[in-house]
């Protein structure tokens, strides 16, 4: 099929390159208001079509699907335009800047029977899927808590804070691995350079059964860190995305309480220090796999792994986190709009029980 890409800034060129490499994609047309960026695309991909008007893409009858890689505040209006022209829609994370706008896109996709997919790329990485496999196997035991750090120096955004910029990755990874969504959020953040745009923040996700996840995000750190730790009742796992080879390490460490004791003096924790296991991962480029999955969902009528509703759940968490920051870290319940009606909010030809499929 022929694919349109709107936005040739930071992430758009990666989408274009990978669409070119997907066998079932026969052509790409890209759009940007900056002619210099379009010139660069023509140098990199001589056969590409370019335009400064996104309507040229939407009015092209040969274009079946469109990917949007523009600033977050434009996702909704561009997504609406794409769906209104009966094109399948791929939107970079986050899906929109409010859950209400996400729900509107979901409704439009349902009404037109179009595939709506969100670019939560980490859900398609070999490492994250290996983590999910290990957690679901029970090797770690019962998950007690998760800790995630995603920090670096820059890039400062002008329209969204660091939570909206970086935390969607961690929220989508943790939700995907655990197979559930948080019930509520506590968050704190500070704006050091741009008033009202927090550049460092911590977000606490509260799940059912006492599971808790801590997320630290920052644009003001001297080191680039991308690390998530899953602490289980049996073992512990560290996923470090910066590592080139050994991205996952499983630590046979833990704490065992005595089964019984008569007096306080007899009570003693037993600390276990075992081996470190590094599982083998058959790595691949996740973005190419993700975009091939998008095209396959269109062709086969499947529900995308990171479909519109999973994208809206992440935005709902971001909204709650932002509200908590403005209220000095107050606990804010997460409201998932349309949850009760989700099976009819979004569908393709391959209809199925979406609540079960996404673990909602």
Token output for 226: 């991308």
pLDDT of residue 279: 95
Pick from 197, 31, 168: which is nearest to 102 by CA? 168
Stretches in the chain below the pLDDT threshold 70:
257-270, 339-360
pLDDT of residue 244: 87
Handedness of CA 234, 227, 150, 5 (dihedral sign): negative
d(CA 89, CA 3): 10
Pick from 120, 71, 114: which is nearest to 96 by CA? 71
2-120+286-308+334-358 topology per CATH = Rossmann fold (3.40.50)
Pick from 139, 65, 78, 73: which is nearest to 105 by CA? 78
pLDDT of residue 334: 95
pLDDT of residue 262: 62
Using CA atoms of 82, 109, 168, 337 in order, give the dihedral in degrees to the nearest 10.
140
pLDDT of residue 202: 98
- Span 123-277 CATH architecture: 2-Layer Sandwich (3.30)
pLDDT of residue 181: 94
Pick from 71, 84, 73: which is nearest to 6 by CA? 71
pTM for the model: 0.89
Domain ranges of the chain: 2-120+286-308+334-358, 123-277
d(CA 257, CA 143): 17
């Amino acid at each position: 099929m022929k694919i349109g890409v709107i936005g040739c800034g930071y992430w758009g060129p990666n989408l274009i390159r990978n669409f070119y490499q997907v066998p079932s994609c026969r052509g790409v047309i890209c759009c940007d208001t900056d002619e210099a960026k379009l010139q660069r695309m023509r140098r990199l991909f001589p056969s590409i079509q370019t335009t400064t008007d996104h309507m040229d893409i939407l009015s092209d009858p040969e274009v079946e699907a469109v990917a949007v890689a523009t600033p977050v505040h434009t996702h909704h209006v561009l997504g609406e335009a794409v769906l209104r022209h009966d094109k399948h829609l791929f939107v970079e994370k986050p899906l929109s800047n409010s859950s209400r706008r996400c729900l509107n896109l979901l409704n439009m996709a349902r009404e037109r029977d179009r595939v709506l997919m969100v670019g939560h790329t980490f859900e398609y990485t070999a490492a994250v899927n290996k983590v999910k496999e290990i957690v679901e196997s029970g090797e770690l035991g019962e998950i007690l808590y998760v800790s995630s750090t995603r920090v670096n120096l820059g890039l400062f955004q002008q329209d969204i804070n660091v939570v909206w910029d970086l935390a969607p990755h961690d929220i989508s990874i943790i939700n995907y691995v655990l197979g559930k969504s948080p019930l509520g959020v506590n968050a704190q953040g500070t704006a050091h350079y741009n008033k009202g745009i927090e550049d460092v923040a911590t977000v606490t996700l509260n799940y059912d059964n006492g599971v808790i996840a801590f997320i630290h995000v920052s644009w003001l750190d001297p080191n680039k860190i991308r690390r998530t730790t899953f602490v289980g009742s049996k073992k512990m796992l560290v996923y470090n995305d910066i590592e080139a080879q050994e991205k996952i390490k499983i630590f046979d460490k833990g704490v065992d309480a005595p089964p019984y004791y008569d007096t306080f003096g007899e009570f003693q924790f037993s600390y276990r220090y075992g081996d470190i296991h590094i599982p083998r991962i058959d790595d691949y480029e996740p973005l190419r796999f993700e975009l091939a999955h998008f095209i396959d969902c269109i062709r086969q009528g499947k529900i995308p792994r990171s479909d519109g509703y999973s994208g809206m759940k992440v935005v709902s968490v971001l909204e709650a986190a932002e509200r908590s920051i403005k209220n000095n870290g107050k606990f804010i319940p997460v409201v998932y709009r349309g949850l009760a009606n989700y099976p009819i909010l979004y569908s393709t030809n391959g209809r199925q029980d979406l609540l079960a499929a996404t673990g909602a």
